[in-house]
């Protein structure tokens, strides 16, 4: 039975996107089952026993009996209240449900939808939130200063076949009916974006390469399918296709499509046409088009991908003829912000200065938690206690009062009952409204507890979001499962001097994503400073802030000498800081700060070495300039050696991607040295799309078993292009116009997109990426288990009779180091290169030496010897065009191979002279071979005859042979 299950799991990978390494996917599916230490058997058994309703609370969108349940749409607090917005959202989803049902051949539709109303809107007859929050939303309605136009778009970061992060709509798109002329109906647009988000397919157009030369050597439009009709339009009107040269196309040159088309399968290309009702399938798919769908999915059609997804493996076509019922909508309004600190005070907290780290919650209460938040405090060991009932923060006195309730000592009991602590926390928050719905628990513990599973039902049914902070290596192994199940954050703080505790608190917010209320971390620095030496550093704020806070910590009895210089030249000294000698902290709050460079110096006046630390946060003002932000996270909550993890950092200003930044990840294991890793946004290796502001990298340098923490630093130098020119991610196509009855009808031009800016000051940002768990790391030297990463940006360009390939070099181990060699193969058959790569024609790569990972590589070869055979009879008067397909594998020094790259293609033009010479050479070769064959046959006949005669003479000596 177990073998059958494993075989079924492996079979599922056949349909997984070709851009993912099947070896890595198998790791995810099989090693998770072996990771018994991550989740106890009792814990897993209890999950199965829970009701589907409880599991659904933190599970996101679920497909059940062909219907999607749990779709969450959140409205940003900065969006003004509009009475038409909610009805228009409902209309969009209702239309999309029936449209999706038919487009998927009666397979799926939307059943239950929730819309999260911001607390900034007036209270009406809305339901109260449970565990719904802005960060957990599938769809976000926001218009952060309109920097990206009205393009609906989907943020995809994990590659094809994987679910994206969010779909974004602007209020203007949802309220302005005039935009439907260019985008089509909102329901169709939503289906297009849903395919991006849910099934990981990509756009079938390409704004950067709107034209290409097809296999017939004709200029054609990047489109799918290729039979879509229209007209080339140049600056002065229509232009003949033969007079349009790709290299000469400038702004104003475009291709305008006919409003009436015969093709109906264009959802991922031109959803705006009324005739479009299906996804592009294999029979009409344009495999030549240089679009992202072809690149990422190796020329597979969108319907081929969608129909092979997990959703379709677990659903069947509905036999009934009627459409499914319209979706049901629930309107839930964000309630008062309610937070409870649930703090471990067992004797374990007395070890390794953990109590001092626990008391760093003072910084969270004084500086980070938003104004008007209700905050309570509970503590636990084997018992539980309410230390502070809910108290609303309206001023600094309220904050100081809450700080006074933080634990100053720990108990003598080593036992920790996490369930008892959580239940007491629920008791605290329930006194406000009778339920814990929408509240936030921040659980800090270092104790072991084998009975966490006993309160799982209570946790899931509470409606509260739980963020966990594990202090030291002794914390319960399955602690993070509480956060994972309900979408909370999880952090790990080591038993050493670091800023990890405050970094964790800085990452935790109320979940409203109101940037005018939340703090942004600009700096987090710590060093061991010798006696009478200095810690000098700088940090940069990129926008105007309502307040900026500097926190300095030390280890000795007295604080260091502090000198701080602000962007305007004003100096602050130690006596300007608020000193807390018990907590060994000094804090300076500066209201109304300007952007620019801050420099600080800490002088260690003590006679011994000590760790000095500085944390800088600021709160952005609600001005016309959005702040720069970074969000760091890791794919998955645990892994088993040798399966890698992917690190991500989304750097944005408002919603515009930040380009050309230096992004560095610091990964710290429990009992080993930290690892520093530079992240990239180059569209190679772990990075899916170039210049989308999502920086990423593989991480596989596992030193030990246990917890690992992640922190990301972003630095951007001044006078460097910062913002992207276009909307990030995948997005529905806007049609500039149509041709109707022979007349060109242009739509209104799109709202301007994000533009490049020069940062006068640059900026720096810090973000904690939480923690993850690693198991199965072998002792001693590790075997080489990491192949090169798959090449995903292979391109081919033909120049005369040669093909030039370009790609970004992978590493010897995923996207790090240097590969040992390449294996390039080509074929005139797409099927052969897709399904039988090892038997395709091998290209000589003896002169191609792999470079360091991330380097752009170029290689030229001549395929003309392979595209013509002796049976080919070229026309001597014309050039011959041949379509060839090329793919590449990287090989490391231990012969581990990467997955086969994306498939590149080129149209090779063979001149009549070279073709005739080649044909003549082939005929001559055939003649030579034929002559040699005849000669060999004659010789063989003579030898055989001679042998037979000699044998008969020996048998009949002196006789006559009859």
- Confidence bin at 865 (pLDDT 50/70/90): low
Which pLDDT tens digit goes with each residue over 68-97?
999 999 999 889 999 999 999 999 999 999
Chain-centroid distance of CA 726 in Å reads 18
Residues in Cβ contact with 633 at an 8 Å cutoff, skipping those fewer than 6 apart: 648, 710, 769, 770
- The average pLDDT across 370-388 equals 94
Exposure string of 389-418, with b = 16+ CB inside 10 Å and e = fewer, is bbbebeeeebbeebbebbbeebbeeeebbb
What is residue 586's predicted lDDT score, i.e. its pLDDT?
Answer: 96
- Contact between 554 and 612 under an 8 Å Cβ cutoff? The reply is yes
Residue 944 pLDDT exceeds 70: no
Query: 320-324, 475-479, 694-698: which range is least confident on average?
Result: 320-324
Q: Catalytic residue among 20, 95, 193, 481, which? A: 193
What is residue 123's predicted lDDT score, i.e. its pLDDT?
Answer: 81
Q: What is the dihedral of CA 477, 479, 485, 491, to 10 degrees?
A: -100
- Confidence bin at 927 (pLDDT 50/70/90): very low
Tell me how crowded residue 856 is: count the other CB atoms within 10 A of its CB: 12
- Contact between 157 and 165 under an 8 Å Cβ cutoff? The reply is yes
Query: 126-130, 512-516, 855-859: which range is least confident on average?
Result: 512-516
Asked if residue 107 has a cis previous peptide bond (ω within 30° of 0), the answer is no
d(C-alpha 334, C-alpha 393), whole Å: 18
- Contact between 263 and 227 under an 8 Å Cβ cutoff? The reply is yes
Residue 32 pLDDT exceeds 50: no
What is residue 509's predicted lDDT score, i.e. its pLDDT?
Answer: 74
- The average pLDDT across 874-894 equals 77
Query: 725-739, 764-778, 785-799: which range is least confident on average?
Result: 725-739
What is residue 602's predicted lDDT score, i.e. its pLDDT?
Answer: 95
For residue 648, what are its two tokens? 């991500």
Residue 241 pLDDT exceeds 80: no
- Give me the residue label for tokens 């709160």: 619
**Percent of all residues in the chain with a pLDDT value above 70, rounded to a whole number:** 80
What is residue 497's predicted lDDT score, i.e. its pLDDT?
Answer: 77
Indicate the SS3 state at residue 367: helix
The number of C-alpha atoms within 13 Å of 584 and in the hemisphere containing its C-beta is 18
d(C-alpha 549, C-alpha 505), whole Å: 14
- Confidence bin at 752 (pLDDT 50/70/90): low
Q: For the sheet containing 856-861, what is the strand order? A: 795-799, 802-808, 856-861
Highest averaged pLDDT of the listed ranges 225-234, 475-484, 560-569, 905-914: 560-569
Closest to 416 in 3D by CA, of 387, 439, 383? 383
pLDDT: is 879 or 834 the higher one? Answer: 834
What is residue 55's predicted lDDT score, i.e. its pLDDT?
Answer: 45
- Contact between 157 and 694 under an 8 Å Cβ cutoff? The reply is yes
**Catalytic residue check, 81:** no
At residue 639's C-alpha, the angle toward residues 501 and 632, to 5°, is: 45
Which pLDDT tens digit goes with each residue over 701-742?
999 999 999 999 999 877 556 665 556 678 888 888 889 888
Q: Is the dihedral of CA 367, 372, 373, 375 positive or negative?
A: positive
CA max distance for the chain: 133
- Contact between 788 and 814 under an 8 Å Cβ cutoff? The reply is yes
- Exposed, middle or buried, 135 (CB in 10 Å: 0-12/13-18/19+)? middle
- Find the helix or strand (DSSP H, E) in which 19 lies: none
- The average pLDDT across 880-902 equals 91
Indicate the SS3 state at residue 859: strand
In this structure, what DSSP letter does residue 887 have?
E
- Contact between 787 and 643 under an 8 Å Cβ cutoff? The reply is no
H-assigned helices in 72-164 = 85-103
Tell me how crowded residue 341 is: count the other CB atoms within 10 A of its CB: 28
Residues in Cβ contact with 831 at an 8 Å cutoff, skipping those fewer than 6 apart: none
Q: Is the dihedral of CA 165, 169, 170, 171 positive or negative?
A: negative
Tell me how crowded residue 544 is: count the other CB atoms within 10 A of its CB: 16
Bridge partners (DSSP) listed for residue 4: none
Question: Can you spell out the DSSP letters for 712-739?
Answer: EEEEE-TTSB-B-SS--SEEPPPP-EEE
Indicate the SS3 state at residue 681: coil
Residue 871 pLDDT exceeds 60: no
What is the chain's alpha carbon radius of gyration, rounded to the nearest angstrom? Answer: 33
Residue 876 pLDDT exceeds 80: no
Chain-centroid distance of CA 595 in Å reads 30
d(C-alpha 68, C-alpha 331), whole Å: 17
Which pLDDT tens digit goes with each residue over 589-616?
998 777 788 899 999 999 999 999 999 9
**Percent of all residues in the chain with a pLDDT value above 90, rounded to a whole number:** 49
d(C-alpha 442, C-alpha 404), whole Å: 18
- Confidence bin at 657 (pLDDT 50/70/90): confident
d(C-alpha 121, C-alpha 103), whole Å: 36
- Confidence bin at 910 (pLDDT 50/70/90): low
d(C-alpha 554, C-alpha 594), whole Å: 28
What is residue 915's predicted lDDT score, i.e. its pLDDT?
Answer: 44
Give the helix, strand, coil percentages of the chain, each rounded to 5. 25, 30, 45
Indicate the SS3 state at residue 102: helix
Phi first, then psi: give them for residue 138, nearest 5 degrees: -80, -30
Residue 846 pLDDT exceeds 70: yes
Strand 374-380 with 338-344, pairing: parallel
What is residue 394's predicted lDDT score, i.e. its pLDDT?
Answer: 96
Question: Can you spell out the DSSP letters for 292-306?
Answer: HHHHHTTT--HHHHH
- Confidence bin at 338 (pLDDT 50/70/90): very high
What is residue 27's predicted lDDT score, i.e. its pLDDT?
Answer: 53
Query: 285-294, 369-378, 517-526, 935-944: which range is least confident on average?
Result: 935-944
d(C-alpha 310, C-alpha 62), whole Å: 11
d(C-alpha 112, C-alpha 329), whole Å: 6
Kindly list the distances between the CA atom of residue 435 and the CA atoms of 124, 128, 239, 374, 487, in Å, as whole numbers in the listed order: 19, 10, 68, 14, 19
- The average pLDDT across 32-39 equals 38
Bridge partners (DSSP) listed for residue 617: 521, 549
Asked if residue 225 has a cis previous peptide bond (ω within 30° of 0), the answer is yes
- Give me the residue label for tokens 């935790």: 508
Question: Can you spell out the DSSP letters for 773-836?
Answer: EEE-PPSSSPP---PBPPP---EEEEETTEEEEEEE---SBBTBSB-SEEEEEEES-HHHHHH-
For residue 416, what are its two tokens? 């920790």
Indicate the SS3 state at residue 169: strand
H-assigned helices in 13-169 = 22-34, 41-49, 52-56, 85-103
Taking phi over 0 as left and psi of -120 to 50 as alpha, with beta for the rest, 866 belongs to: alpha
d(C-alpha 917, C-alpha 697), whole Å: 50
- The average pLDDT across 156-169 equals 87
d(C-alpha 255, C-alpha 233), whole Å: 6
In this structure, what DSSP letter does residue 395 have?
S
pLDDT: is 409 or 219 the higher one? Answer: 409
d(C-alpha 340, C-alpha 421), whole Å: 11
Residue 954 pLDDT exceeds 60: no
Taking phi over 0 as left and psi of -120 to 50 as alpha, with beta for the rest, 70 belongs to: left
At residue 725's C-alpha, the angle toward residues 720 and 730, to 5°, is: 130
Average pLDDT in the chain: 82
Indicate the SS3 state at residue 79: coil
d(C-alpha 911, C-alpha 43), whole Å: 70
d(C-alpha 654, C-alpha 143), whole Å: 9
d(C-alpha 212, C-alpha 561), whole Å: 65
Query: 34-43, 220-229, 410-419, 437-446: which range is least confident on average?
Result: 34-43
Sequence length of the chain is 962
- Contact between 612 and 530 under an 8 Å Cβ cutoff? The reply is no
């Amino acid at each position: 039975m177990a073998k059958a299950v494993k075989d079924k799991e492996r079979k599922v990978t056949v349909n997984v996107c070709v851009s993912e390494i099947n070896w890595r996917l198998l790791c995810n599916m099989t090693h998770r089952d072996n990771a018994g230490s991550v989740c106890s058997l009792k814990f897993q058994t209890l999950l199965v026993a829970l009701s589907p309703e409880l599991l659904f609370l933190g599970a996101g969108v679920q497909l059940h009996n062909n219907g999607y349940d749990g779709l969450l749409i959140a409205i940003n607090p900065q969006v003004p209240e509009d009475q038409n917005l909610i009805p228009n959202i409902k209309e969009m989803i209702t239309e999309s449900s029936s449209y999706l049902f038919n487009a998927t051949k009666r397979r799926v539709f939307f059943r239950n939808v929730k819309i999260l109303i911001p607390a900034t809107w007036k209270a009406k007859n809305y339901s109260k939130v449970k565990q719904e929050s802005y960060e957990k939303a599938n769809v976000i309605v926001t218009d952060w200063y309109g920097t990206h136009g009205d393009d609906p778009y989907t943020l995809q970061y994990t590659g094809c076949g994987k679910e994206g992060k969010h779909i974004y709509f602007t209020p203007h798109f949802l309220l302005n009916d005039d935009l439907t002329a260019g985008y089509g109906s909102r329901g169709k647009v939503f289906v297009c974006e849903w395919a991006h988000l849910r099934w990981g397919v990509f756009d079938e157009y390409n704004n950067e390469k709107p034209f290409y030369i097809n296999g017939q050597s004709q200029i054609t439009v990047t489109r799918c399918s290729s039979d879509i009709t229209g007209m080339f339009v140049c600056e002065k009107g229509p232009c003949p296709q033969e007079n349009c040269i790709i290299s000469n196309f400038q702004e104003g040159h475009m291709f305008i499509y006919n409003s009436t088309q015969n093709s109906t399968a264009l959802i991922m290309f031109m959803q705006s046409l009324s005739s479009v009702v299906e996804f592009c399938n294999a029979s009409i798919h344009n495999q030549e088009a240089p679009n992202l769908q072809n690149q990422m999915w190796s020329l597979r059609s969108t319907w081929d991908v969608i129909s092979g997804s997990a959703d379709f493996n677990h659903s069947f076509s509905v036999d009934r003829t009627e459409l499914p019922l319209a979706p049901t909508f629930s309107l839930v309004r964000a309630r008062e912000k309610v937070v409870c600190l649930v703090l471990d005070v067992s004797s374990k907290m007395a070890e390794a200065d953990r109590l001092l780290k626990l008391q760093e919650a003072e910084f969270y209460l004084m500086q980070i938690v938003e104004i008007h938040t209700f905050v309570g405090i509970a503590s636990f060991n084997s018992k539980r206690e309410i230390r502070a009932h809910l108290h609303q923060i309206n001023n600094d006195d309220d904050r100081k009062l809450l700080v006074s309730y933080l634990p100053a000592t720990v108990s003598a009991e080593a036992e920790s009952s996490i369930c008892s602590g959580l239940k007491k926390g629920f008791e605290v928050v329930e006194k406000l409204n009778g339920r814990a719905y929408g509240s936030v628990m921040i659980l800090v513990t270092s104790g072991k507890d084998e009975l966490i599973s006993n309160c799982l039902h209570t946790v899931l049914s509470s409606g509260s979001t739980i963020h966990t902070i594990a202090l030291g290596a002794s914390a319960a192994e399955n602690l993070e499962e509480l956060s994972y199940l309900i979408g909370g954050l999880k952090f790990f703080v080591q038993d050493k001097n670091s800023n990890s505790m405050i970094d964790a608190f800085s990452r935790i917010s109320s979940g409203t994503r109101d940037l005018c209320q939340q703090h942004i971390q600009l700096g987090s620095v710590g060093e061991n400073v010798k006696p009478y030496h200095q810690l000098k550093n700088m940090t940069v704020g990129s926008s105007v802030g309502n307040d900026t806070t500097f926190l300095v910590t030390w280890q000795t009895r007295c604080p260091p000498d502090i000198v701080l210089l602000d962007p305007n030249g004003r100096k602050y000294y130690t006596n300007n800081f608020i000193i807390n000698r018990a907590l060994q902290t000094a804090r300076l709050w500066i209201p109304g700060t300007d952007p620019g460079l801050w420099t600080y110096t800490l002088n260690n006046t003590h006679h011994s070495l000590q760790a000095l630390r500085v944390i800088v946060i600021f709160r952005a003002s609600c001005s016309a300039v959005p702040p720069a932000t970074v969000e760091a996270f890791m794919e998955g909550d645990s892994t088993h050696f040798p399966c890698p993890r992917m690190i991500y950092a989304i750097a944005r200003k408002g919603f515009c991607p930040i380009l050309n930044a230096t992004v560095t990840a610091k990964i710290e294991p429990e009992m080993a040295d930290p690892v520093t890793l530079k992240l990239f946004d180059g569209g190679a290796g772990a990075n899916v799309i170039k210049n989308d502001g999502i920086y990423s990298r593989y991480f596989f340098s596992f030193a030990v078993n246990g917890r690992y923490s992640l922190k990301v630093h972003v630095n951007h130098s001044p006078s460097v292009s910062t913002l992207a020119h276009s909307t990030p991610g995948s997005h529905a196509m806007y049609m500039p116009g149509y041709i109707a009855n022979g007349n060109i009808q242009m739509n209104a031009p799109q709202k301007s997109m994000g533009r490049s800016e020069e940062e006068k000051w640059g900026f720096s940002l810090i973000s904690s990426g939480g923690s993850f768990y690693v198991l199965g790391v072998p002792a001693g030297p590790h075997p080489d288990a990491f192949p090169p990463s798959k090449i995903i940006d292979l391109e081919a360009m033909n120049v005369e009779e040669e093909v030039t390939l370009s790609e970004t070099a992978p590493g010897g181990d995923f996207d790090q180091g240097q590969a040992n060699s390449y294996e390039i193969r080509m074929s005139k058959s797409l099927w052969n290169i897709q399904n039988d790569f090892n038997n395709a024609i091998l290209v000589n790569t003896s002169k191609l030496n792999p470079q360091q990972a991330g380097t752009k590589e170029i290689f030229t070869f001549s395929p003309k010897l392979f595209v013509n055979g002796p049976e080919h009879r070229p026309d001597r008067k014309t050039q011959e065009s041949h379509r060839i397909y090329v793919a590449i594998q990287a090989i490391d020094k231990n012969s581990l191979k990467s997955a086969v790259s994306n498939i590149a293609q080129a149209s090779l033009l063979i001149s009549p002279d070279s073709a005739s010479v080649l044909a003549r050479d082939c005929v001559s070769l055939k003649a030579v071979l034929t002559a040699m064959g005849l000669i060999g046959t004659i010789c063989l006949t003579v030898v055989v005859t001679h042998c037979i005669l000699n044998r008969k003479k020996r048998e009949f000596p002196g006789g006559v042979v009859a």
